[in-house]
């Protein structure tokens, strides 16, 4: 296969290659003893919680009042011998209930490192379980340098997906950081978490595309507004009935996020914007309704031309319909071409997940007759 030519027979393949997030998924943050067990959680692919005075089964089956009575009996004082306030028991019980009964497979869990400088996001794989003392001792018998193993017996298996630094995330997450409970529901922060983890993904019938802006100095207004204008208008040129949403977090380096309806238009749009940042000479052959087109990145931008089908004689009406698609395609490409210089000026790029999705959509066995 020629590495400088992609053959995409279905632009929907681009969208299906993007990460998928269930819009109804619950997001949780589980602290690792102030980050002490962060590395153990991520490396061991699990999260855990303490409160060994209460078994997992008891926390799941007994009422809050019953659990409070058990705590009073089994842990009446803290490590300094002081009586534990009733409010503290209430907080512990709430965390045990959330951990044992409310976290479900498919939910997302965020774990902060020491000082919450770094976060790892994972997906829940199964129900909570509890280790026996012998099982815990066996797991912790082998020490690993630089990794403090947790003593938590109550655990949940997690597949950790991505990690990100606090400095890379939206400042809105700072409020979440000050949540001190061990287990907390953080659904309202989900958009900021997902934007930090995936620069392109599909959720709730929408496509989320995050364009990084890496310029360190102050961003000049004209190239920035030119970029965002042509970004949104290029999609509207494809789908005149659309109303794309744009969000940004740009204080010098930052991001611009575009939210589109999930449709084949979004796949074609993404393909064009990936091509605008490709090297000169790169080519994508793409099938869209009523036509096959060749898109080539040249020094002055993208050039589009129709791929003629030598195998059949098509009706005039079909050719005209194809020409209309080409006209629309050229309009979109013109918008993208006009954005290339402003993008370079503010050091903006296209989402890396989108680039990978376009590569995955390549169908090298698709042979097009070209004239």
pLDDT of residue 311: 46
pLDDT of residue 2: 56
pLDDT of residue 198: 96
Place 316 in a pLDDT band, splitting at 50, 70 and 90.
very low
The answer to whether 208 and 19 have CB atoms below 8 angstroms apart is no
Question: What are the pLDDT digits (tens) for 132-176?
Answer: 999 999 999 988 887 899 999 999 999 999 999 998 888 888 889
The answer to whether residue 319 scores a pLDDT higher than 60 is no
The answer to whether 155 and 46 have CB atoms below 8 angstroms apart is yes
Measured distance between the N- and C-terminal CA atoms of the chain, rounded to whole angstroms: 20
Residue 47 half-sphere exposure, CB side, CA atoms within 13 Å?
32
Helix (H, G, I), strand (E, B) or coil at 236: helix
Q: For the CA atoms of 233, 349, 172, 102, what is the dihedral angle to 10 degrees?
A: 90
Helix 264-276 to helix 316-345 angle (10° resolution) is 50
- What pTM value is reported for the model? 0.88
The answer to whether residue 327 scores a pLDDT higher than 90 is no
Place 334 in a pLDDT band, splitting at 50, 70 and 90.
very high
pLDDT of residue 320: 53
| Domain boundary assignment for the chain | 5-19+200-360, 27-197
Give CA–CA dist 208/193, Å, rounded. Answer: 13
Give CA–CA dist 228/246, Å, rounded. Answer: 8
Least confident of 2-6, 96-100, 195-199, 280-284: 2-6
Place 366 in a pLDDT band, splitting at 50, 70 and 90.
low
Label the pairing between strands 5-8 and 283-288. parallel
CATH code at 27-197? 3.10.590
Give CA–CA dist 232/226, Å, rounded. Answer: 10
pLDDT of residue 351: 96
Give the DSSP per-residue string, 18-73: S-B--TT--EEEE--TTTTTHHHHHHHTEEEE--TTS-HHHHHHS-HHHHHHHHHH
Q: For the CA atoms of 222, 225, 226, 230, what is the dihedral angle to 10 degrees?
A: 180
Burial of residue 269, with CB atoms counted within 10 A of its CB: 0-12 exposed, 13-18 middle, 19 or more buried: buried
Q: With pLDDT > 70 as the criterion, what percentage of the chain qualifies?
A: 91
The DSSP H or E segment spanning 319 is helix 316-345
pLDDT of residue 301: 92
Residue that is written with structure tokens 């360190």 in the block: 216
Of 18, 10, 12, 13, which is closest to residue 202 (Cα–Cα)? 18
Listed in sequence order, the residues at least 6 apart from 220 whose beta carbon sits closer than 8 Å to its beta carbon are: 345, 346
Place 371 in a pLDDT band, splitting at 50, 70 and 90.
very low
Q: Looking at residues 305-332, what average pLDDT do you find?
A: 64
The answer to whether residue 122 scores a pLDDT higher than 90 is yes
Place 250 in a pLDDT band, splitting at 50, 70 and 90.
confident
Helix (H, G, I), strand (E, B) or coil at 325: helix
Question: What are the pLDDT digits (tens) for 67-90?
Answer: 999 999 999 999 899 999 999 999
The answer to whether residue 257 scores a pLDDT higher than 90 is yes
Place 321 in a pLDDT band, splitting at 50, 70 and 90.
low
The answer to whether 198 and 192 have CB atoms below 8 angstroms apart is no
**The dihedral of CA 344, 350, 356, 360: what is its sign?**
negative
Burial of residue 272, with CB atoms counted within 10 A of its CB: 0-12 exposed, 13-18 middle, 19 or more buried: buried
The answer to whether residue 127 scores a pLDDT higher than 80 is yes
Higher pLDDT, 292 or 62: 62
Give CA–CA dist 152/145, Å, rounded. Answer: 19
The answer to whether residue 370 scores a pLDDT higher than 60 is no
Give me the chain's average pLDDT, please.
90
Helix then strand then coil, in percent of the chain rounded to 5, is 40, 25, 35
The answer to whether residue 180 scores a pLDDT higher than 80 is no
pLDDT of residue 314: 47
pLDDT of residue 172: 87
Phi, psi angle pair for 293, to nearest 5°? -130, 150
Q: For the CA atoms of 39, 43, 49, 55, what is the dihedral angle to 10 degrees?
A: -150
Give CA–CA dist 42/139, Å, rounded. Answer: 15
How many CB atoms within 10 Å of residue 339? 23
The answer to whether residue 322 scores a pLDDT higher than 70 is no
Least confident of 6-10, 30-34, 45-49, 214-218: 214-218
């Amino acid at each position: 296969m020629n590495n400088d030519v992609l053959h995409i027979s279905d632009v929907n393949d681009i969208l299906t290659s993007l990460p998928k997030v269930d819009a109804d998924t619950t997001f949780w943050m589980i602290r690792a003893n102030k980050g002490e067990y962060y590395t153990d959680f991520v490396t061991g692919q699990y999260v855990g919680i303490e409160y060994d005075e209460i078994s997992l089964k008891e926390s799941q089956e007994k009422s809050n009042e019953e659990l409070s009575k058990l705590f009073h009996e089994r842990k009446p004082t803290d490590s300094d011998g002081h009586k534990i306030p009733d409010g503290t028991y209430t907080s512990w019980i709430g965390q045990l209930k959330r951990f044992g009964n409310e976290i479900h497979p498919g939910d997302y869990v965020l774990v902060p490192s020491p000082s919450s400088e770094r976060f790892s996001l994972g997906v829940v794989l199964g129900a909570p379980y509890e280790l026996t003392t012998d099982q815990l001792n066996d797991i912790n018998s082998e020490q690993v340098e630089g990794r403090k193993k947790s003593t938590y017996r109550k655990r949940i298996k997690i597949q950790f997906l991505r990690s990100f630094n606090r400095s890379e995330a939206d400042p809105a997450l700072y409020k979440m950081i000050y949540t001190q409970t061990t287990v907390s529901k953080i659904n309202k922060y989900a958009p900021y978490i997902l934007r930090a983890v995936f620069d392109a993904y599909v959720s709730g019938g929408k496509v989320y595309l995050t364009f990084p802006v890496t310029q360190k100095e102050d961003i000049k207004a004209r190239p920035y507004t030119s970029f965002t204008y042509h970004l949104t208008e290029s999609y509207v040129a494809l789908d005149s009935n659309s109303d794309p949403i744009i969000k940004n977090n740009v204080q010098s380096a930052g991001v611009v996020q575009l939210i589109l309806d999930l449709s084949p238009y979004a796949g074609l749009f993404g393909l064009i914007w990936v091509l605008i940042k490709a090297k000169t000479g790169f080519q994508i052959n793409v099938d869209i309704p009523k036509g096959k087109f060749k898109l080539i990145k040249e020094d002055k931008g993208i050039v589009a031309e129709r791929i003629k089908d030598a195998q059949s004689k098509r009706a005039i009406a079909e050719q005209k319909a194809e020409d209309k698609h080409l006209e629309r395609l050229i309009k979109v490409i013109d918008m993208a071409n006009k954005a290339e210089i402003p993008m370079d000026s503010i050091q903006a790029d296209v989402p890396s997940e989108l680039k990978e999705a376009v590569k995955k959509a390549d169908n090298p066995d698709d042979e097009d007759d070209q004239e």
